[in-house]
Homo-oligomer: A and B are copies of this chain.
């Protein structure tokens, strides 16, 4: 760990770091499909849907495809996942509703109280690949007290592209060094640190379920490491 640094804004990864996407999406899939007679491995189906996320963004990062919001990528990926699991016959309205499962992800239990404490001292922004509507609906669903929605859509780029981080800091009128990236993913922090941002790792050992093998511990020289937003608030209060 480096010495603590004074920052003005905390910028958060959201999927996995703030919200438990896997169990939430599994429940949404079950709610939508079980009444139609499907008996599927809902967690595996959530993983399959999420597994198509990075490849879909890669086409945009590489320039092969123009910037397209995550709601649209999620829908394309949902169609593929349903095909892969042999699910057919949903109406367009049902597909739209199911795709918005990503707007109804439960926060990890420490987030609402922890973010409330952090908000007293820092600007809190999202620096997520989610689009604005998704982030707004997620915040209202989970009572997440963001000051501002930044990240992919306002920069028309996807992490870990430099533009996503630099454009988010610039939108706050801040230098990267005035901002701290908060994420459960070491790669996200590595990209942020390379650009001069401070970094905080928040461990989410069950983001990918009970057998998770990645991001179980900080593996970089991050400024802070915690197991919850409340612990992060404790650490920053002492800094």
What is the interface of chain A, defined by CB distance below 8 A to chain B? Answer: 71, 123, 125, 131-133, 135-136, 139-140, 147-150, 153-154, 171-174
Contacts and interface: CB of A to CB of B under 8 A. Distances in A.
Contact of A171 (B123, B150, B153): B153
A200 to B, nearest CB: 20
20 contacts: A71-B173, A123-B136, A123-B140, A125-B136, A131-B173, A132-B150, A132-B154, A132-B171, A132-B172, A133-B171, A133-B173, A136-B147, A136-B148, A136-B172, A139-B147, A140-B147, A148-B148, A148-B149, A149-B149, A153-B171
Contacts of A148: 132, 135-136, 148-149
A147 B142 CA distance: 12
A154 B167 CA distance: 11
A150 B140 CA distance: 16
Nearest to A168: B132
A133 B172 contact: yes
A173 B71 CA distance: 9
Nearest to A145: B145
4 smallest beta-carbon distances between A and B, as pairs: A133-B173, A132-B171, A136-B148, A133-B172
A153 B153 CA distance: 12
A149 B123 CA distance: 13
A153 B149 CA distance: 13
Contacts of A135: 148
A173 B70 CA distance: 12
A133 B123 CA distance: 10
Contacts of A171: 131-133, 153
A133 B171 CA distance: 6
